Structure 1
Amino acid sequence: MDNIVGKTISGFIMLIVTMGIFIFLPAWTANYLQAWLYLLTFAVSTILITVYLFKNDQKLLKRRLKAGLTAEKEKSQKTIQAMASVFFCFIYIIAGFDYRFHWSNIPIYISLLANIFVIVGFFIVFLVFKENSYTSAIIEVNKDQKVISTGMYAIVRHPMYSGAILMMMFSPIALGSYWALLSVVALTSTIIARLLREEKFLSENLSGYDEYCEKVPYRLIPFIW
Structure 2
Amino acid sequence: MRAIRALRSALAFLIPTAVLLLLPAALAPGGTWLWPQGLAFMGLLCVFVIGARIAMAVYRPASFEVRQGGFVADKAKRQPLIDAIALMSYLVLLAMWLVFIPLDVFVLHLLPPVASWVSGLGLATAIGGLFVTHAAVWQNQFAAPTIDEQAGQQVIDSGVYALIRHPLYAGNLMLFAGGALWLGSSAALATVTQLAATLWRIRMAEAYLRKTLPDYADYARRVRGRLIPYVF
Same-fold call, TM > 0.5? yes
Asked if residue 71 in structure 1 is aligned to residue 73 in structure 2, the reply is: yes
RMSD of aligned Cα (Å):
2.0
Q: Which residue of 2 aligns with 1:186?
A: 193
Cα deviation per residue 1:2-53 (whole Å; 9 max; x = unaligned)?
4x55553333223222122212222222121100011011111212221221
Q: Which residue of 2 aligns with 1:11?
A: 9
Q: Is 1:34–1:111's contact at 8 Å kept on the other side of the alignment?
A: no
1:89/1:64 Cα in 2 relative to 1: closer, same or farther (>3 Å)? Answer: same
User: 203, 214, 224: which one pairs with 1:196?
Assistant: 203
Q: Distance in 2 between matches of 1:30 and 1:161?
A: 31
Q: Which residue of 1 aligns with 2:175?
A: 167
Q: Is 2:7–2:53's contact at 8 Å kept on the other side of the alignment?
A: no
Asked if residue 152 in structure 1 is aligned to residue 150 in structure 2, the reply is: no
Unaligned runs of 5+ residues in structure 1 are none
Same amino acid, percent of matched pairs: 21
Matches within 5 A, 1:32-181: 32-68=35-71, 70-71=72-73, 73-101=79-107, 103=109, 104-107=112-115, 110-181=118-189
Q: Distance in 2 between matches of 1:120 and 1:151?
A: 15
Structure 2 length as normaliser, TM-score? Answer: 0.86
Q: CA deviation at 1:223?
A: 2.5
Q: CA deviation at 1:67?
A: 3.1
Matched residue type, 2:220: C
Q: Distance in 2 between matches of 1:161 and 1:209?
A: 18
Could you say which structure has the greater relative contact order, defined with CA pairs below 8 angstroms and 6 or more residues apart?
A: 1
Unaligned runs of 5+ residues in structure 2 are none
Q: Distance in 1 between matches of 2:224 and 2:173?
A: 19
Any runs of at least 4 consecutive aligned residues in structure 1 with deviations exceeding 4 A, and if so which?
A: 4-7
Q: How many residues align?
A: 221
Match of 1:179, SS? helix
Q: Distance in 1 between matches of 2:54 and 2:8?
A: 14
Structure 1 length as normaliser, TM-score? Answer: 0.88
